[in-house]
Amino acid sequence: MTPQELLYTEEHEWIEPGKSPARFGISDYAQGELTDVVFVELPEEGAEFAKGEVIATLESVKATSDVYAPADGKIAAVNSDLEDNPQKINEDPYGDGWLVEIEISDPAPLEELMDYEAYRKYLDNRDE
């Protein structure tokens, strides 16, 4: 899907709408702020998460950032290619840089996420 079709969290993650399993990753803004990712810690396939729990950890030379589950669900697939090629998160955050696919068990929290336009406004209004 294109960035315009995705939903966004306030923590700068994106998820595919209306699908389960849905692909999930971090936004272009997030990868830029994080700078070059050098290490990725991803969950196991089949692991279950509640909304807000740490689903993955991304490490750059600048910082280590947690990535949070956008809704309750189970990990259906993991982009294990990132373990050897973490730079794909920087190069293609909406494509090859996806993190996991989540089988959503309760889609209700996804309704509160921002669409592309709303996320762009959210970024513009940030105190930078």
Partner 1 sequence: MKLIFEKSVPGREGYSLPADQFEEIPLESCIPKEFQGKKRELVEVSEVEVVRHFTRLSKLNYGIEDGLYPLGSCTMKYNPKVSEHLAVLDRFVLAHPFAPADLVQGSLKLIHDLGVMLGRITGMDAYTLAPAAGAHGELTGVLIIRKYFEDQGERRIKMLVPDSAHGTNPASSAMAGYRVVELKSNQEGTVDLEELEKAMDSQAAGLMLTNPNTVGKFDPRIDRIAAIVHERGGLLYYDGANLNATLGLLRPGDTGFDVVHLNLHKTFGTPHGGGGPGAGPVGVKEFLRPYLPSPVVVFDGEKYRLRDPGEKSIGMMRAFVANFSVLLKAYAWILSLGPEGLREASEAAVVNANYLLVKLRDHFRPAYGGYCAHECVLTGRDYKQHGIKTLDIAKRLMDYGYYPPTIYFPHFKPYAEETLMVEAPESEGKEVIDDFIAAMIQIAGEAESEPGLLLEAPRSTPIRRTDDVLAARRPVLHYDDELKLKAGE
DSSP assignments along 91-126, one per residue: H-TTTTT--EEEEES--GGGGGSB-HHHHHHHHHTS
Q: Which of residues 65-124 bind partner 1 (CB under 8 A)?
A: 65-66, 86
Residue number with CB closer to partner 1 (20 or 87): 87
Give the 3-state secondary structure of residue 82: helix
In the complex, what is the shortest distance from the CB of residue 101 to partner 1, in angstroms, rounded to a whole number? 21
63 binds partner 1 (CB under 8 A): yes
Rounded to an integer, what distance in angstroms lies between the CA atom of residue 15 and that of residue 5?
Answer: 9
Choosing from 4, 5, 38, 91, the residue that interacts with partner 1 (CB under 8 A) is 38
Stretch that binds partner 1, among 14-22, 64-72, 95-103, 110-118 (CB under 8 A): 64-72
